[in-house]
Amino acid sequence: MMSWAQLLTREKGTDILMAGIGRPSYPIPTQPIKSILSYWHNLLDKAENARVSIASDNIEDPDIQSELYHHNAVINYNDPSGCYLARKKAAAALDQWYGNMLGITAENILFTSGGAGGLYCIFDVINNRFPGGRILTTLPYYPLYKGSRDRNNLFPIDIITNKLFSLTPDILEESIQSAYNLAKKDGSYPSAIVLCNPNNPLGTAFSEKEASGIVNVLKKYPDILIILDEAYAEMIFDQSLPRSLICVAPELKKRTILLRSATKALSAAGERMAITISFDKELMQELLSINVDVCCHPPISLQHMYAEALAHLDFDDLQMSARFYQSQVKYALQRLKSMNISLCHDTYEVKGTFYVIANLNELIGCQMSSEIARAIKKQTAHEPEIKQMIECDEDIAYSLLFENHIMITPCSYLGIDPTLGYVRITCSAGLNNIEKIMDIIEQRLSAVRKLRA
């Protein structure tokens, strides 16, 4: 989907409204930029000073070579966990974020190449420790949880069909018991649970009561690892909500892995920088070994940049960022409700992130152009043109991309039945553009409803 959107933009000059990826638009904080500039200026000074002493006629001089070695005007390998100073700074900032109740130190920090790199390490550890074990997570879920070729044995906890759109203690208990009952038949016991809070794609966030109930259930199953994906931690709209399940039950930290990312709230998606936190030395060593296999370690300059961003979090600015995205989410939800295509239940509320989900199943059965059909390989260029119909959420998304130049995400990418016609819309392009997206969707639906009336 993303490749087609970029192709249309690059080769046809089409202005695509990108509402299909987690694309931040609130300005990046300036302090981490200043820190990375300082890092490069310092290296520039070293390089210039070192190069003063070298010339073609002395490059083989042993004294000159030794001098260059001691100048250290290079970017060398560093600690595979991440630069110690960056980890120390990040640890202090994150410990403060979690209320100074976890005792996070540099030894608990592992820098990874984005949340994707962190998730790869985490799931690899789980799969190595518990071959064939089931990994519980709420449905819908972030697509990388599945792993390459569905290598992670996910056990989805469906919170869509019951119209609650949020994980409750009762649903969690029932799902864990179901996983254990199934394991009696096939031997694949539950090994871990992955909880995303605030949730991508639903935007829900745990209340104090919900969090307490969930951790009470988790305490009953000490053999299950707890993975807390908090890539959107800074994007909770209501600051009175718990910042993390771990804040409600810090005693669970030994079997908990935390994942934080600079991608969204810190507006640094393209730099691919994240942190994995573990309080189990053996577990951290396993994570580190896999991370070394994947990338050795992320760029040193970006480690310092992320640590600096965490150390200088401006909470007033985070509140402004929340208002910035919340206003767009609120408008989109209002429009979706007015069109009767919102999934929102009275008890459902977007409390974080910049996502909303819509039900566009009324577009299923509509005709699809041959251009779209060929793009998604329903027919080849050598076949005669035949009428193709929209059959699923991906067809809907491609239809909107090619015909209306808006990019959204099919929820089948997030584990939901493609025939339901659910899509995820990112609300970060500004109110004017969100209005355009809603207008286009409303026009498409009006045409279909008129035709079928």
Band the pLDDT of 11: cuts 50, 70, 90.
Answer: low
Candidates 12, 345, 80; CA nearest to 202 is 345
Across 200-359, the runs of DSSP E, i.e. the strands, are: 225-229, 256-261, 273-278, 355-359
Q: What is the pLDDT of residues 35-69, one digit of tens each?
A: 899 999 999 999 999 888 888 788 888 998 898 88
What are the extents of the domains in the chain?
2-22+317-445, 84-313
CATH class of the domain at 2-22+317-445: alpha beta
Asked if residue 126 has pLDDT above 90, the reply is yes
CATH number for the domain whose boundaries are 84-313: 3.40.640.10
**Whole-number pLDDT of residue 414:** 95
Q: Return d(Cα 39, Cα 447) in angstroms, integer.
A: 56
Burial 386-424 (b: 16+ CB within 10 A, else e): eebebebbbbbbbbbbbebbbbbbbbbbbbbebebbbbb
Band the pLDDT of 425: cuts 50, 70, 90.
Answer: very high
**Whole-number pLDDT of residue 344:** 67
Asked if 446 and 171 count as a contact pair (C-beta separation under 8 A), the reply is no
**Whole-number pLDDT of residue 256:** 97
Q: Return d(Cα 74, Cα 111) in angstroms, integer.
A: 21
Mean pLDDT score, 156-163: 83
Asked if residue 9 has pLDDT above 80, the reply is no
Both tokens of 445, joined, read: 């639906």
Mean pLDDT score, 203-207: 92
